[in-house]
Structure 1
Amino acid sequence: MKYIDEYRNPELINKLCASIKKIADKPYIFMEVCGGHTMAIQRFGIPSLLPSTIKLISGPGCPVCVTDTSYIDHLTALGQLDKTIICTFGDLIRVPGSYTSLDKAKAAGADIRVVLSSLDALKIATENPKQNVVFAAIGFETTSPGTAVAVLEAEQMNLNNFSILSAHKIMPPAMKAIVEDGVKINGYICPGHVSTIAGSAMYEEVCRDFGLGCVISGFEPLDILHSIHMLLVQLKNNDPKVEIQYKRAVKPNGNKKAKKIMDQVFVAVDGKWRGLGSIKRSVLKLRPQYYKYDAEHQFSVSFKTKEPDKGCICGEILKGKKSPSDCILFAQNCRPENPVGACMVSNEGACQSYFKYHQYGK
């Protein structure tokens, strides 16, 4: 099977691991900033294949996990308005807000529906002309072009009952913020899906300003191990740079059409990330000419956001300062069926991946 069996070949994995062990003669710390990588690293047991000198830590790569509490509070407040339908991706429905979550609001009577895409939400708007349909627009560069297309489609159809509440984010500002916050790493394993859209150039500033190698990786065991090997070679040669390991999917310039649509519809502004606080020019909001489709401008709602549970260290985990096992709630009060923090909600979250693949509670 092309691109599956080839990238799980035990003989090739053993050879690559031997080469990694030979190069990694001192401690190195690499951070992955993709929820898909976090899940794959735990699923395939990548840490167990590496020498003790290499440590992998998870960063803010799960889009559900980094969605700020205030955003959930805003959505649930919108859901209380008359004749309003909230459309959301499945994982987001269980993320805790200050006082409730979307699934609990749904159980209490709010019209909240799980969709697979922004176009699904657009379809619901066309089928319910007397209802206001708000799409919960989250995710990184991977999902934001789809939301942009939905906004343009709504404009073309002259829909008056469709809007989005955008919490779309872009990755490089968060990568910079982590290093500036004092997290010590030797390189980044960069997201594959995000880079398919955005290309490799967006990491150049991180590499230049902080002297950190950035390797865009695929999601199979050999992809991840090869990316680690590439970072090690950079460090040995004292030559940090941006490289693409995932060449079968990622091009240096990314998807030009998708980027053009994003730039047409969105503008980067300062915005909140769960655990990381406000990061400059890291959140995508609709440009003024599309305010007609911006729920933040269309609907006035009041809500209060409180500090998250003091026992939950999701924010520190997203920064790479703590691991799931450092949390006193992990696998106790906080489990996938009853998540206290956002990192336990999504299967791309560090806590759920760690819980699932380390077989806690079995």
Structure 2
Amino acid sequence: MKYLDEFSDPDLARALLDQIHEATTGQWALMEVCGGQTHSIIRHGIDQLLPDGIEMIHGPGCPVCVTPLAVIDKALEIARRPEVIFCSFGDMLRVPGSRDDLFTIKSQGGDVRVVYSPLDALRIAQDEPEREVVFFGIGFETTAPANAMAVHQARRLGVGNFSLLVSHVLVPPAIEAIMESPSCRVQGFLAAGHVCSVMGTSEYPPLAQRYQVPIVVTGFEPLDLLEGIRRTVVQLEEGRHEVENAYPRAVPAEGNPAAKAMLEDVFEVTDRTWRGIGEIPRSGWRLSPRYADFDAERRFSVEGIDTAESAICRSGEVLQGLIKPPQCEAFGRECTPRNPLGATMVSSEGACAAYYAYRRLDLVEAG
């Protein structure tokens, strides 16, 4: 296939669905570990077309959603400072902190700017040397190389007024934490293709063997997801637990060596708290000692943050795959995209936002 619309071909989709129905005899719970995959599944109604024996569980694959509340509150505190230009991707501006969000800080006079690359923030720092420029560096392994490059370039060019507020998280430790949970029902995983395009697939075979679960790397279009589901179901029905790459057009087994070298230079592995889940050991990155001078958290000494989550928001359970968004009593009522109580509703990759956008009326009104 050469063109994107071919990956939505209805005849090919029906053929894959027929194969999935034919292969399915048991009851299987599969988790997609990517918010983009969640949105594609809900948008195209893929979960509704699958056999009754297959349940799709939405995992903690939205980077905005899992950014811990304490880090959001630190971002807000830094953004309030008059000497700071605070730069971020647009999807972080409405993520609620304990009391405010970045839009509120901007409306109160804070210099909060939306950029499309961390290198845009670096250029702002070069153009305005009298100001402190902070970029909010969040996300999984996918966005980390560009953030690492920005810090690497700042150090090389001697741009001392640039820093990074880091909250990067890693997928394999999250899979491990999910499988170790006493409430885990997951029997197979769809791994995120864009993460594997950076890191490769070498981290997944030990997980598949240890937890006896198939892990299939897949993309984001309807046919990608259906092929990933088909391969996962076939493995489960045959009693296999292997890593398969169903996204070879984008994912080489070794990943991207140049990106991995940049990550190894700039970051080091650390324990990381995930919003709604808690601390997962060695599940994130922080700046390595070589780049510690560019750590915004250290530069601005943000301490004494008291966090306060919404008392009625159940986004943590959504992130862990324990409930579907409509099972939260606030969904579509107190919590909407205009008035989000949790990051899963405001993020463009959040599960709650997907259900609200594509299936709110039939699910909420039926309740």
| Aligned equivalent of 1:204 | 205
Alignment of 1:26-175 (within 5 A): 26-175=26-175
Give deviations 1:212-269, integer Å, cap 9, x for gaps.
Answer: 1110111111111111110111112211111110111111110011001001100010
2:33, 2:60 within 8 Å by CA — same for their partners in 1?
Answer: yes
Go from structure 1 to structure 2 and tell me whether the alpha carbon gap of 1:307 and 1:180 turns closer, same or farther (over 3 Å shift).
Answer: farther
Identity value in percent: 43
| Aligned equivalent of 1:177 | 177
1:69, 1:305 within 8 Å by CA — same for their partners in 2?
Answer: no
2:25, 2:237 within 8 Å by CA — same for their partners in 1?
Answer: no
Give deviations 1:313-337, integer Å, cap 9, x for gaps.
Answer: 1111000001101111100111111
Q: Which runs of 4+ in 1 moved over 4 A?
A: none
The answer to whether the aligner puts 1:275 opposite 2:276 as a matched pair is yes
Alignment of 1:281-296 (within 5 A): 281-296=282-297
| Aligned equivalent of 1:235 | 236
| Aligned equivalent of 2:16 | 16
Structure 1 range deviating more: 18-27 or 341-350: 18-27
2:214, 2:232 within 8 Å by CA — same for their partners in 1?
Answer: yes
Distance 1:310 1:210 in 2: 34
Shift of 1:81: 2.4
Shift of 1:168: 0.9
Give deviations 1:139-163, integer Å, cap 9, x for gaps.
Answer: 1111100011101110111011000
Structure 1 range deviating more: 209-218 or 301-310: 301-310
| Aligned equivalent of 1:345 | 346
Distance 2:62 2:94 in 1: 14
Distance 1:248 1:271 in 2: 32
| Aligned equivalent of 1:225 | 226
Give deviations 1:139-190, integer Å, cap 9, x for gaps.
Answer: 1111100011101110111011000010011111111111111311110011
Distance 2:304 2:341 in 1: 20
Gaps of 5+ in 1: none
- Residue 173 of structure 2 aligns to a residue whose secondary structure is helix
Shift of 1:306: 2.5
1:178, 1:319 within 8 Å by CA — same for their partners in 2?
Answer: yes
- With normalisation by structure 1, the TM-score equals 0.97
2:332, 2:360 within 8 Å by CA — same for their partners in 1?
Answer: no
- Residue 30 of structure 1 aligns to a residue whose secondary structure is strand
Distance 1:44 1:293 in 2: 42
RMSD: 1.4
- Residue 64 of structure 2 aligns to a residue whose secondary structure is coil
Distance 2:142 2:340 in 1: 26
Aligned AA (1:217): T
Shift of 1:304: 2.3
Shift of 1:205: 2.4
Shift of 1:359: 4.4
- Residue 105 of structure 2 aligns to a residue whose secondary structure is helix
- Residue 130 of structure 1 aligns to a residue whose secondary structure is coil
Structure 1 range deviating more: 75-84 or 347-356: 75-84
Distance 1:83 1:5 in 2: 47
1:74, 1:303 within 8 Å by CA — same for their partners in 2?
Answer: no
Distance 2:82 2:112 in 1: 13
| Aligned equivalent of 1:258 | 259
Shift of 1:16: 1.4
Aligned AA (2:37): H
- With normalisation by structure 2, the TM-score equals 0.96
Paired positions, count: 362
2:202, 2:253 within 8 Å by CA — same for their partners in 1?
Answer: yes
Distance 1:152 1:301 in 2: 24
Distance 2:74 2:101 in 1: 11
